[in-house]
Structure 1
Amino acid sequence: MAAQLGGQPIIILKEGTERIRGREARSNNIIAAKAVAAAIRTTLGPKGMDKMLVGGGDITITNDGVTILREMDIEHPAAKMLVEVAKTQDDEVGDGTTTAAVLTGELLVRAEELLEQDVHPTVIVAGYRIAAEKAVEFLGDITYTITENDTAALLNIAKTAMTGKGAEGLKEKLAGIVVEAIRSIVDEEDGKKSVDIDNIKIEKKVGRSVEGSELIRGIVLDKNKAHHQMQDRVTDAKIALITRPIEFSKMELDAEIKISTPGELAHYLDQEEQIVRDIVNRIETAGANVVLCQLGIDDIAQHFLAKAGILAIERVEKKDIERVARATGANLITSVDDFEASDIGSAGLVELRGHGEDKMLYIKECSNPRAVSILIRGGTEHVLDSTERALEDALRAVGVAIEDETLVSGAGSPEIELALRLNEYASTLKGREQLAVIKFAQALEVIPKTLAENAGLDPIDMLVELRSQHEKGKKDGGLNVFTGEVEDMWENGVIEPLRVKIQAINSATEAAIMILRIDDVLAATGGMEHGGECGPGGCGMGGMGGMPPGMMM
């Protein structure tokens, strides 16, 4: 890139740098983002289709938006923004990832229509911000309030979050597991409830059907005992959680021990053995009959622990140790030289189940567990992974509902209601922002429209019927994709946490605005990334994850 000053060229960027400006740059970015949104649009809703993602010898079959976007090898920088939108949605609320990405794409489609009419991008940006703010405000008028004790509503939230995913067939049972698990880990401080999903351990085991999945009011670990002579079952368990290795402490200084006779060697080994024996004695004296160690357990220590009738498990992950602490009331022991009986946790039963090396440790019958486990069963790894993704979405959705205690109906009903209200609001605006607000309202209708398309229904007929019902005041009217009718979704139990919708609208708006504000793309030699090129077809479309030219996924 060069500029002229008095006939003398001035080099600003190194030779070979590609630059695309103005309308062309904006158009390229919009095309890339639209391509990503189109890729996952067919997965939306109860009748959405699945994607098979193949790479590095691994196969993933899913219709979870964030999983698809994470696995796709997307290189175009504008397209990556949609991936970030889905990730943020997943991190914040767990569900609605596909909705957020599809809405971002549609906002850009509508913005493109205004750009072609020579509406300036800053006007569109201003209108979109106004519309998003008003949409969130209008959402407050169509919410319902629940409490942690509204079991029916919480079950419906879990089932809605799992609808269309791999666990569809057994969502009734899994929803019950989800609600009970979340209720077990709710914390309350200053009257405000909080839910940390990390306190729920999901363990997967191939074998039997998904119907064999269960909630354990305690912790399940895919671990075996440290020594074969240790018992497999301990009732009235007293559990010590040790974060240090159980072994003779090696000298940390650069010291040298000189042993000149066999007797001195025997004495040294006896001392080492006595130190380990003393450690085990302290554990036994404190009353522990189960030991979980974050690091290793010395062979001699294993022997003495087995002789003392103590079941020991070594190399337990830190996060699992912390979950066991919450479940059993134990304190983490950082030094085996200084701990008391009060640091010991309790559980009604600790047992190893399974055959041979395929054993799992169950810590059950905890009196008031603040951490629990869900054991997922399934015939194949693909089934297990699909069920896990569905459960994680449901767990987050129910957790958010308990924290916020506010819900909205699903199945496209909030989007249609917001579209109608935004159109009414747009008529009160005088500037060109009115056009952007109208386009924002039209973009919201992509959700019910896509639900209809994915169910094989006529999207235009469905949108007309939905608008008609909402204009009559039926604010919970949504699309039943199984009957093809517009029905009251609150009565049907198709409900979602309010935060899912707010997050989707805000994230999609911010991403669309960011892309619209770009009017200059500078690419170093070789294109955007990994050798992609900026040509007439636009920068970085070669970065759409190795897809064939001209194929919009």
Structure 2
Amino acid sequence: MKLDSTRMPLAHERVPRPDIYVDGHPVLIFNRGTVRRSGEEALRDNIEAAMWVMEFVKPLFGPNRLNKLITVREGRSTLTFLSSDLRTIFRKVKVEHPLARFLAGAGIAVSREKGDGAVSTILLAGKILEKCKRLLDLGMHPSTILDGVISAYKKVLELSDKLTVKELSLEQTIRLGIRSALLGKLPMDEVDHFTDLLYRAVQLLGAENLRREGSSLVDFKKAPGGSLRESHLVEGLALTMEIPHVNMPRMVEGARIAAIRGELRIPNKKLTRYMDYSFSFEDPGDMEKFEGLKKSFLTELAHRVTDAGANVIMVERGIDDFLLEYFAERGILAVRGIPPPEFDRVAKAVGAKITTHLDHTSREDLGWAEKIFEKKLGRQRLLYVTGCRNPGTLDMVLRGSPKHLLDDVERVVKGALATVKAVAEDPRMVWGGGAFEEQVALYLRRYANQLPGKIQIVVGAVAEAFEAMPAMLGENIGLREVDVAAELRSMHARNRSTMGVDQNRRGIADMSESFILDPLAVKLQTVKSAFEAAVTILRIDEYIIARELPEPERHYVERIKKSEKQVPGEEE
């Protein structure tokens, strides 16, 4: 037998060792060192990973949620984040276990779609799995547990309409939905302020438009400094632009706006990647003549715009310094360097036809706004455009410090707008403070008593998982879990279905008196995602964590693969 010398390892390489030999030939099924778990051992490991995620996010639950202080190293810098936003936390904290990462992703998906419910999804799924693990420890077969969980899931979906609060108008529903989405994610002093801002945005834009378009109708501008309470809604646009000339007007009323694509100057750099130009002058007089012709050409461009009646000129790219002086002398406001997405948005809002060829500019092409003015907020200058011809968009200016706090606030407010969209699609509300979950637990226990065999034990365990939700809510405001669970179970059994945990009163109270409600759309999505995550984890009977090849083995495998890809006859 001829020995293939190319398959011999080099000095820095090592041949991966096979798992078994068949008829004397090595067979590599899994890399040596691969971790395998199967059966109930794998199921228990997966449930414990989910329970770890549940305990990790538990302090983030409810209106009295706590923050996580995260320190990460990016390059040579060490960055510190203070956040209670689940998406921010899991973006900075890398979760290695695949099932833990899956459960975190399920919660974040709910938050993206409905604007809220991320933590609730993880907690409910974790509690369901925790109760199932106890049944597993008692010797119940995983298939029986799975059947019981699915049976409970179907029953919960049937109960949704029965637990709905009927006597609310759409306006009340939207306002309560906004407040519910903001509670616990912003300081309590600021919740009412941002609720008012967002409700005003809904009034201006219309619930139907928000249902179709979502948060894209509201743009966010950040002006670091000041306090969150200084954040405000602009009924128009707020551009992060500065007026480029000191003599230009700082305010224009009755603005007639020309929107010009491109630039108002002779390019002083390359035209394109492959086209360039240059000038050479043999006579000094030619230079003066050239400058005169240049000014004449630029003045002609300016006349084409001003003759149409424009007193505000917005240009996508640059404006020649000569023209800036020209416009300033005539009291015309010019704004340059507006990036393309913002430029299109401005043109649409003011009703201007975007002009690329100034030869065809007319009065009909101009947009209109009641007022354009500059305002300084901290170190940031903003250009406000209010009273637009097409008031279909709004801007929200966020104040506060540090900057990463504003990033968190923007995510929270966008989440609240997603909740508005969900509420506009399904305006049904349920009592908050854990009253909904306690009622679900009550109905599930009654349903379990009607079931035969071991499935009733599983459904009862799922009822306990729902009952744990208000108990955890109570724990986060300083109450004992067992006391909250016992008292709420007793009250709901006596048909006091509106009783829940009230953070303001630091105890159990009537949610109809405190007027604490949650959108049913968010609750349903939370329940669906939690059950789906739990069922997915319960269906896994084996997991394999592949061993990564050490560097010597990796070098050998890569070299052999490259040699096998070579076409026969290419080597000399």
- TM-score bracket for this pair, using the shorter chain length: 0.7 to 0.9
User: Which structure is larger by alpha-carbon Rg, 1 or 2?
Assistant: 2
Quote the residue 2:445 is aligned against.
423
Question: Structure 1: how far apart are the matches of 2:335 and 2:221?
Answer: 17
Q: CA deviation at 1:258?
A: 7.7
Mean CA deviation greater in 323-332 or 445-454: 323-332
Question: Structure 2: how far apart are the matches of 1:518 and 1:102?
Answer: 20
The Cα offsets for residues 483-517 of structure 1, whole Å up to 9 and x where unpaired, read as 35433324422122211111111222222222222
Q: CA deviation at 1:466?
A: 1.7
Whether contact under 8 Å (1:187, 1:195) holds in the other structure is: no
- Tell me the SS of whatever aligns to 1:475: coil
Quote the residue 2:54 is aligned against.
37
The partner residue of 2:384 within 345, 362, 378 is 362
The partner residue of 1:412 within 434, 451, 476 is 434
Quote the residue 1:174 is aligned against.
194
Note if 1:212 corresponds to 2:230: yes
| Structure 1: gaps spanning 5 or more residues | 528-553
Q: CA deviation at 1:381?
A: 3.9
Quote the residue 2:244 is aligned against.
226
Quote the residue 2:39 is aligned against.
22
Question: In structure 2, do the counterparts of structure 1 residues 296 and 11 end up closer, same or farther at CA, with 3 Å as the change threshold?
Answer: same
Note if 1:89 corresponds to 2:93: no
Question: Structure 2: how far apart are the matches of 1:157 and 1:256?
Answer: 60
Mean CA deviation greater in 253-262 or 320-329: 253-262
Quote the residue 1:447 is aligned against.
469
Note if 1:159 corresponds to 2:176: no
Note if 1:69 corresponds to 2:90: yes
Question: In structure 2, do the counterparts of structure 1 residues 272 and 105 end up closer, same or farther at CA, with 3 Å as the change threshold?
Answer: farther
Quote the residue 1:549 is aligned against.
none
Quote the residue 2:219 is aligned against.
201
| Structure 2: gaps spanning 5 or more residues | 1-17, 550-572
Whether contact under 8 Å (1:240, 1:344) holds in the other structure is: yes
* Equivalent residue letter for 1:233: M
Question: Structure 1: how far apart are the matches of 2:378 and 2:534?
Answer: 55
Over aligned residue pairs, what C-alpha RMSD do you find? 3.3
- Tell me the SS of whatever aligns to 2:523: helix
Question: Structure 1: how far apart are the matches of 2:149 and 2:497?
Answer: 23
Question: Structure 2: how far apart are the matches of 1:29 and 1:509?
Answer: 15
Quote the residue 1:110 is aligned against.
131
Q: CA deviation at 1:275?
A: 4.9
- Tell me the SS of whatever aligns to 1:47: coil
Question: Structure 2: how far apart are the matches of 1:462 and 1:173?
Answer: 31
Question: Structure 2: how far apart are the matches of 1:211 and 1:444?
Answer: 37
1:299-448 residue pairs with structure 2 within 5 A? 299-325=321-347, 327-333=349-355, 336=358, 340-354=362-376, 358-366=380-388, 369-378=391-400, 380-381=402-403, 384-385=406-407, 387-430=409-452, 432-448=454-470
- Tell me the SS of whatever aligns to 1:287: coil
Question: In structure 2, do the counterparts of structure 1 residues 226 and 137 end up closer, same or farther at CA, with 3 Å as the change threshold?
Answer: farther
Relative to the length of structure 2, the TM-score reads 0.81
Quote the residue 2:511 is aligned against.
489
Question: Structure 1: how far apart are the matches of 2:43 and 2:143?
Answer: 13
Quote the residue 2:71 is aligned against.
54
The partner residue of 1:515 within 511, 527, 537 is 537
Question: In structure 2, do the counterparts of structure 1 residues 292 and 254 end up closer, same or farther at CA, with 3 Å as the change threshold?
Answer: closer
Question: Structure 1: how far apart are the matches of 2:542 and 2:240?
Answer: 53
Quote the residue 1:530 is aligned against.
none
Whether contact under 8 Å (1:328, 1:347) holds in the other structure is: yes
Question: In structure 2, do the counterparts of structure 1 residues 455 and 5 end up closer, same or farther at CA, with 3 Å as the change threshold?
Answer: same
Whether contact under 8 Å (1:477, 1:489) holds in the other structure is: yes
- Tell me the SS of whatever aligns to 1:144: coil
The Cα offsets for residues 406-453 of structure 1, whole Å up to 9 and x where unpaired, read as 222211111111122222233344465444433322222232011111
Quote the residue 1:534 is aligned against.
none
Mean CA deviation greater in 307-316 or 169-178: 307-316
Question: In structure 2, do the counterparts of structure 1 residues 491 and 296 end up closer, same or farther at CA, with 3 Å as the change threshold?
Answer: farther
The Cα offsets for residues 203-257 of structure 1, whole Å up to 9 and x where unpaired, read as 2323333332222211112221233332211111223444434433665564767
Whether contact under 8 Å (1:146, 1:405) holds in the other structure is: no
Question: Structure 1: how far apart are the matches of 2:180 and 2:430?
Answer: 12
Relative to the length of structure 1, the TM-score reads 0.84
Whether contact under 8 Å (1:327, 1:372) holds in the other structure is: no
Question: In structure 2, do the counterparts of structure 1 residues 254 and 61 end up closer, same or farther at CA, with 3 Å as the change threshold?
Answer: closer
Quote the residue 1:548 is aligned against.
none
Question: Structure 1: how far apart are the matches of 2:318 and 2:389?
Answer: 29
Question: Structure 2: how far apart are the matches of 1:438 and 1:327?
Answer: 56
Question: Structure 1: how far apart are the matches of 2:279 and 2:313?
Answer: 35
Q: CA deviation at 1:103?
A: 1.6
Question: Structure 2: how far apart are the matches of 1:259 and 1:499?
Answer: 70
Quote the residue 2:156 is aligned against.
135
Question: Structure 2: how far apart are the matches of 1:283 and 1:434?
Answer: 78
* Equivalent residue letter for 1:142: L
Q: CA deviation at 1:5?
A: 5.0
1:454-533 residue pairs with structure 2 within 5 A? 454-526=476-548
Identity %: 30
Whether contact under 8 Å (1:64, 1:98) holds in the other structure is: no
